Each structure stands twice: as C-alpha cells, then as structure tokens.
Chain A
Amino acid sequence: MDTSVGPWPIFRTHARAIFVTVATCVVVLATVEIAFFRSGFFASHVAVSDPQWPAAKLAIAARQPDTRVLYVGDSTMMTSVIPTIASIACECGPAFNGGFSAADPWLTDAMTRRLLGIMQPTLVVISVSPWTVDSGAHFDDSESARHLMSVAELEARGISLDLEQRIDRGIGALWSAYGQRQLLKEWASALTPDQRYDERLLGYYVAPGSANSYARLLAQTERLFEDVGDASPSAPGAMVIRALVDDLRARGIAVAFLVPPLHSAALEHAGPYLDRADAAIRELAGEREVPVIDCRATVTAADFRDVTHLVEPGAERHSRCVGERIRTIVGD
C-alpha cells in the first residue's frame, strides 16, 4: 500500500505524465466541441425519442424551416392536432406542432419566439386553454423555462438565478455536451430499436395507453381544477397571449386561437368555470379580432386517453376540422 503524508509527492513524481494527460484531454474535448457541436453536425443529425419536451421539439423544428402554419400551446395542442392531416384539409402548406408538455402561456410565448427563429410561418395557431385565462395562473420557474428563456427573460419574469445556476449555465454555454445533455440523452434513447420519433408526424405526439377509467378521470379532473381562480380576459396568462398576438401581427403573421377539447368529465366537474373560461377566451379573441377555432364537437368521450389528451382517431377527426377552419380563415 502506497502511503505518504499527502497526494502531492505523487503528483510531483508524475508531473510530466499529468501534464500530457491534461493537455490531451483538453485537445480532445476542444475537438469534440468544435467538430461535433459548433459545426452544426449535432443539430442536423440529432434524433429524438420523445418530442414532449422543449429541447426535443426545437431539435425537430430545426429541420422544418418551410413551415407555413405553426401550432403552439401545451400538451392538449400536441396531442390533438396532426399537422399533416390539418395541412391537407386547409391546403395551406406545411405545418408543425410546437405544443409541448406543461406549457403555460409564458412558456408558449417563449417557445413561439424560439420557433420563429427557425421558421417563417404565415399563420400561428395558439392553443388557449381555460387555464390561460385563469386569474390565479402565474409564471413558474421550471426546467422548461430555463431551457427556453435567457437569463434576462427569466429575470424579467421575476426569477433570479443563484450562483450555482449561473455557473451551470456558463458551463453549458461553454461546453455543449453539458449544455445539450438533455438532447444527447434523447438521441441515445432514439438509438433503441423502434424508439426513434417519426419526424413525419411533425411534432404531433400520441400519448401511450389509456387512463380513462372513471376513477382516474375523476382524480385527474379534481387535480386540474383544485387550484383554479376565476376566468378573466385580463388574467396574467391572457395578457401574455395578448402581447404575443400583437408581436406576431407586428411581424406580419396571422394568428388564430384554438380551444382545446376536454373530456366530458371535466365539464361535469367544472362546468360553470369552463363556461366562464370559454366566455373569457372569446372576449380576449374578440378584443384583438383573433378568429377562434373550436372543433370540440368533433370528438366524443371515447376519443380521449384521459381528461385532456386525445387518442389518435380523435386527433385525426379534430385535425381535419381544424384544417377546414383554417382554410376558411386563410380564405377570408
């Protein structure tokens, strides 16, 4: 057993070898950073297995620069609009579904702005759920927020990063294998047989299995509505959407709202609240003269995987209806 007063004599003895080791390591890491990440090779080749997260969505979107219709919003949007079907129905060009899990108005706003740096759509369809116009909604710090927003944007939303978080971001900006680790993990998952996300779905995602037994629907509904306040077109989230609409129009992009379908269990549980939310959404839309796409009548309870997400047959019918409404809007 090699024992001594400390590790330093060992370091001194092997100083030359340590120097060569560290130098080799630095050279290899710099090569990986430049040749693999900074060259754009990674961005153009990365595949994902699960498009529910912002990083994955942005990676897929990077290969869809020709998009003409962009759908944004939360997972209700992601699972209810199949871009290919909607595009055929509206005859309005290629589309992309940029909806992602747990997106609130603030994240939808940030994601839309990121996507506009990749594509130049002529129409953006924003999913406006009842929670968007809820007076109790507020911006939450989250991994998605940190991924989509710059430090300045986060600070503007009242989130200040501590020293560790700033160092973390700094390392991520300097060393892409760390900064883009979520995408690297996605890529690794996509290498598993049959696990690569089919990018021809253009951002649409089929939620697996079903969770529509009565007990689960009841529990989900209670969770969804346990903390709601009141619905108002001047709710904090609605203000964010209003600003997004103004910004999109300033860029010459048309805007439409989509009212996402909800399982009838939600209506039974929170009917009056949803009625008020519906009125608030329409008031918001009317105030900015934004057309509202409402295809909720095309789906039934059997089309739902759970309270908020459609299964594929339901999404197909819903998408067709959405496309037809868009054709009307574009025609107008």
Chain B
Amino acid sequence: MLFNSLAYLIFLPLTWVVFWAIPARRRLEWMLIASYVFYASWSIPYAAMIFGLVVVNYVFGLILGRATDRRRAFLTLFIALDLAVLGIFKYFDFFVGSFAGAANAALGAQLDPPMLDWVLPLGISFFTFEFIHYLVDIYRGDVPVHSFTKFHVFTAFFPTQIAGPIKRFQQFVPSLASIGHFDIGLAKEGLWLIGRGLIKKVLLGDRIAPWVNEGVRAATDGAIGTTDAWMTMLAFALQVYFDFSGYTDIARGSAALFGFRIPINFNMPYLATSLADFWRRWHISLSTWLRDYVYFALGGSRRTTPIVMRNLFLTMVIAGLWHGAAWHYAVFGAIWGVGLAVQHALQKRFSLPSSPVLAVGGWLFTMLFYLVSLAFFRCPDLDAASVMVRAMFGQGAGEGTQTLRASLFVMGTAAALLLTWIAARQGWWPALRMPTWRLRPVALGIAASIAIVVASAAAPQGNEAFFYFQF
C-alpha cells in the first residue's frame, strides 16, 4: 500500500477514526492491527516474518537488559543474527555472484552458483537498523522496553515501517504514554505535512522521473551528451529529494494524526556548504544512525587522522552498500568516503576563517561533488555510471534528448527550491499556518473544494513507488 495510492487514502482515515473512537487502552493494539494490515497488503508471509523478527528482538532486548556478564558476546550474537536475515535477503546473491564472477575472471573457473532470487522484504533495512539501535543502546545502559506491545508498535509502526525515518526508541516509546490525548495542533501539522509530501512526490518528483529515466537509459545504452548528463543528474537530485522527503513528510504527517512525533529526515540539504554538512542535512536518521552505530563503533574521530579517515571511508562504504547490493552503490559510498576523509584531513591541517565567499565556494563544490556521485547512485551499473560521469566531464556523445521543457522545468524547480530554502533560513518566509477554524465556513468550503480539485487533477495516473522503497 503506497502513501500515494487510493488504498492509503481510504486506509488512513478509517484507521484514524477507529483509533480515536475506541478506548485509549486499546489504541496501541489497534495501531498494531493497522500496521500489519498495511504491511500484509503487500505480502502476508513477509508480514509474518517481520512479526517473528519483532518477537526475537524483544526477547534479545530483555536478555541483554538482564545479563550481567558476557553482554558483549550476547550483543554480537544478536546483531549477527539480525544482520544474517538482512544479509540473506539483500546481499547473498550479490556476494556469491561477485565471488563467482571474480573467480571465473581470475582463475578461468566456470562457477555458476545457484542464486536465491528472493524478493527483498519491504523495509527490511529499516527494521534491521532499528533493531540494532535498540540492542546496542540497551547494551550501552538503556533500560529495555518491557511492554511487548509498546516495543511492537515502535518497530512495526505503519507510517515509518517501509522507509523510515529510522526512529529511536528513547524518543518514541515515551510518546506512547500520551496516546489518550488528541492534540489538534499536531493533527493540523500532520495534515499540512501530508499535503506537502504529496505535492513533493506527485507534482514534482514523479513529474521529473521520466526525464531522469530517459537520461539514464541513454547512459546505459552507452552514449549521452554532456549537457544531457548534467541535466539528468540535476533532475535526479531533485527527484530523489522530492520523492524521499515527500515520503518522509507523509510518514511524519500520518504519525502526527495519531499523536506521534517522528524525527525529521531532511534539513535543506542542497544548501550544504561542505561534504560533512551535506550528511548532517540529508537522510538525517540514517546518517546519525551510521554515526552512532558504525562510525563511533570504529573509534569515531578520537583517533589519529589516518584512522579517522579510514573510519569515515568505511562508514560511507557501508552507507553505500546499505542502499543496495550492487557495486555501483559501494562506489557511491566510497566516493563520499574519500571526499569526507580528505575534507577531514584538510580541516585538521588548515584552519580557514568562515566567510561568505568560502561558503559559496564550499556550496558549489559540494553540489558538484554530489551531482557527480549521483551517477553511481542512480545508474544501474558501473558501466552506465562511467558513461554518465565521462559525459559530465566533456566526453559526451550524441545530441540532446532532454527537451527544452524538461530542462527549463528542472532548472526552474532547482532555482525555486534553493530560493525557498534561502528565504526560509533568512526568516523572510512567513510562517504558514492552517487557518481552518478562523476562516468562515463558506470560505473554508470553497478553499476545500479548490484543494480537492487540485488534488484530483494532480493525483498520479498509476501509483509510482517511492524511490527509497527499494532499499
């Protein structure tokens, strides 16, 4: 069930009405039922598997909380089990195939190992990361969640189960205590977020997607012009932002309707003035997770510069591979790892004063770096990515296949997005509030009907899946 589908348009209000109509003590159970209906609408067997993982990790948490010795061994075992499930579904075929390919190429072998070809369970990467966060934090001293229902809602919560944001149980579980109270302010914010998310996804992201596909297809075919390559990557930068931040808005908005606050995932990422700044603004719940559970586990920044550089590199390679089991994702992560490591080394060696000129220069470099790296993120393999990158650096072939309309739309949208963010950061943007009860009913009715007409016209013809659902 996609957030931008008719099914969700029916599912969400129904769930909401029942949620607030039943006694408060039953609302968590209802939220669980709704969450499993949501997941099972895609796959019942995988919903059962997710239930099994929740039960197992709940027990793991209790064991870790009570254990007084061999805690590290328990933690390692539990995390290994969680990663094994993720690894089998997501990485088994990739690593076995890569190993066989390498062996065949290097040794002239004829290895053709059997592949699992299993469908990747939706949201498995996000579930796994929340489980690991929970177990590690209990190991570090947090108290485990003793209520199975509360732990269950934390992990299976339908607004965030498919593509995050990756929640922290220390923030989420205490908010369950206020489940008996309806917060009109939060509900209004939720509606606003859902509307904004749909606009980002349907009106902007989905509209740009065909132009990206056209450019990527050209690169996959082996030839794309230089201008087209840049335009394609710029279009993809917009598409992936609108798609994923739109999804996050709808997830946060849906959660808010039920009284839950979900962390933000984006903070004007394309205004970042350095590579490190970018990851503080982009997919924040993932980057902070990687910082807390990978980068810090490797030693973080309290080591010598070469070790810190190694830590940054490894963290980003893992980040790349988290997105998908393919070498182009690993290269994407490695590029960022090298970039962040070099930036760290330079910052250690040179102390630059902050100035507007340096900020603009840093922004320009960060955006160019990002656009080039996106070739490895979006293209289906390394060959296509290398065609795209070579084209971006002047080795393009073929005339433009991106229409003037597409180019104008992409550049105009990029400019509008940046201006909107700059205005918001400078405080020029007036705070938008939903004036519902202050408007006269007739005016509100007219406004609502206009909104319905616009929403109807803007609705997607089919249901375009969110880009991050594949991860």
Residues of A within 8 A of B (CB): 1-8, 10, 14, 16-18, 20-25, 27-29, 32, 49, 143, 164, 167-168, 171, 175, 177-178, 181-182, 184-185, 188-189, 192, 194-195, 208-216, 218-220
Contacts and interface: CB of A to CB of B under 8 A. Distances in A.
Contact of B398 (A49, A181, A213): A213
A215 B402 CA distance: 18
A195 B404 CA distance: 9
A195 B52 CA distance: 54
Nearest to B400: A209
Contacts of B449: 24-25, 28-29, 32
Interface in B430-460: 437, 441-442, 444-446, 448-450, 452-453, 456-459
B181 interface: yes
B223 interface: yes
Contacts of A220: 221
B6 interface: yes
Nearest to B412: A192
Given A181-B459, A184-B457, A164 B6 contact: yes
Q: Which 10 A-B pairs have the closest CB atoms?
A: A24-B445, A215-B222, A219-B221, A28-B449, A20-B441, A209-B401, A177-B456, A178-B456, A184-B457, A213-B223
Contact of A7 (B184, B448, B458, B459): B184
A103 B169 CA distance: 52
B385 to A, nearest CB: 15
Contacts of B452: 25, 29, 177
Nearest to A195: B405
Given A7-B184, A29-B453, A20 B442 contact: yes
Contacts of A177: 452-453, 456-457
A215 B457 contact: no
B461 interface: yes
24 contacts: A1-B183, A4-B181, A6-B182, A21-B444, A21-B448, A24-B444, A25-B445, A27-B445, A29-B449, A29-B452, A167-B10, A175-B456, A185-B457, A208-B402, A209-B403, A213-B398, A214-B223, A215-B222, A215-B223, A215-B397, A216-B221, A218-B221, A219-B220, A219-B221
A1 to B, nearest CB: 6
A173 to B, nearest CB: 13
B370 to A, nearest CB: 26
Contacts of A23: 445
Contact of A181 (B7, B181, B445, B457): B457
B182 A4 contact: yes
A178 B459 contact: yes
Contacts of A2: 183-185
Nearest to B443: A24
Given A1-B185, A6-B182, 10 more contacts: A20-B442, A24-B442, A25-B446, A32-B453, A177-B457, A188-B457, A189-B405, A211-B221, A213-B397, A216-B398
A308 to B, nearest CB: 14
A164 B7 contact: yes
A215 B10 CA distance: 47
A209 B222 contact: no
Contacts of B400: 208-209
B299 interface: no
A291 to B, nearest CB: 36
B20 interface: yes
A14 B437 contact: yes
Interface in B1-46: 5-7, 10, 20-21, 24
Contacts of A167: 6, 10
Nearest to A212: B398
Nearest to B409: A192
B141 interface: no
Contacts of A16: 441
Contacts of A6: 20-21, 182
B417 interface: no
A97 B25 CA distance: 64
B142 interface: no
B221 A210 contact: no
A164 B456 contact: no
A192 B405 contact: yes
Contacts of B21: 6, 8
Contacts of B397: 213, 215
B187 interface: yes
Contacts of A17: 437, 441, 444
B399 A219 contact: no
Given A5-B181, A208-B401, A209-B399, A168 B445 contact: no
Interface in B132-181: 180-181
Nearest to B445: A24
Contacts of A8: 20-21
A130 to B, nearest CB: 21
Contacts of B462: 143
A3 B453 contact: no
B284 interface: no
B404 to A, nearest CB: 8
Nearest to A177: B456
B441 A3 contact: no
Contacts of B6: 164, 167-168, 171
B183 A219 contact: no
Contacts of B181: 3-5
A75 B84 CA distance: 48
Nearest to A9: B182
B218 interface: yes
Contacts of B402: 208-209
Given A4-B181, A5-B24, A49 B405 contact: yes
A23 B448 CA distance: 11
A182 B461 contact: yes
Interface in B379-424: 397-405, 408
B380 to A, nearest CB: 13
B446 A28 contact: yes
B20 A215 contact: no
A279 to B, nearest CB: 30
- Specify which of A16, A32, A209, A210 lies most central, judged by the most chain B CB atoms within 10 Å of its CB: A209
Contacts of B399: 209-210
B223 A216 contact: yes
A2 B436 CA distance: 15
